[in-house]
Amino acid sequence: MAARLPYLTRNDLAETDRDVWDAFVKSRGAEPGHIHRTVAHAPNLLRRFVALADELRNGTRLDPKLRELALMTVGRLTGAEYEFVHHWNIALRVGVRRDQLEQLADYAASPAFNAEERAVMRYAEEATRNVAVSETTFDALRGFLDHQRIMELVMNVAFYNAVVRILVPCGVELEAGATKG
């Protein structure tokens, strides 16, 4: 599917909204990607979208490997190629093993994952597919995550479920050269 909205540039934004673009470049050291250029059609929402994404990625105590396994589960289940490819590379950078990424679809039975990783991925799967999460699944999280980390996981899965619901309906395409590493 082709993009349903144009990817905006800094110059497409009103002068009063260009600060959001400049702050993105300053904090991430790169130009905004297609997802950000799409959300930029509502600059006030982009400002908050980027702030929440940055906080979820950089301001939590949740193990980044567990976070990325959860996000990869969301991307895989929803067919959101953009999220899947970008987070594949982030997952590798934070220490998720390639063999784990290659066995995501079989996480429940694969020996590549430990019990904690499976519990996080099961949570992400249930929350993505059903919204409701079983007591068994939630109790498994309580076995190794404190309340803060549980909420950080819940927020990450919820936020990236929102992200895929922007990516897929808007037809956000991968940037040229974006591939799984």
What confidence category does residue 181 fall into, taking pLDDT thresholds of 50, 70 and 90?
confident
- The rounded percent of the chain whose pLDDT value lies above 90 is 96
Place of tokens 């050269």: 177
What residue ranges do the domains of the chain occupy? 10-58, 64-170
Place of tokens 């144009």: 6
* Residue 32: partners with Cβ closer than 8 Å, 6 or more residues away: 21, 24, 25, 40
Does the pLDDT value for residue 30 go beyond 90?
A: yes
Looking at 1.10.10.10, 1.20.1290.10, 3.40.190.10, 3.30.420.60, the CATH number of the domain 64-170 comes to: 1.20.1290.10
**pLDDT tens digit sequence for 110-167:** 999 999 999 999 999 999 999 999 999 999 999 999 999 999 999 999 999 999 999 9
**pLDDT tens digit sequence for 48-84:** 999 999 999 999 999 999 999 999 999 999 999 999 9
pLDDT of residue 118: 98
Q: Which two tokens stand for residue 57?
A: 């990625």
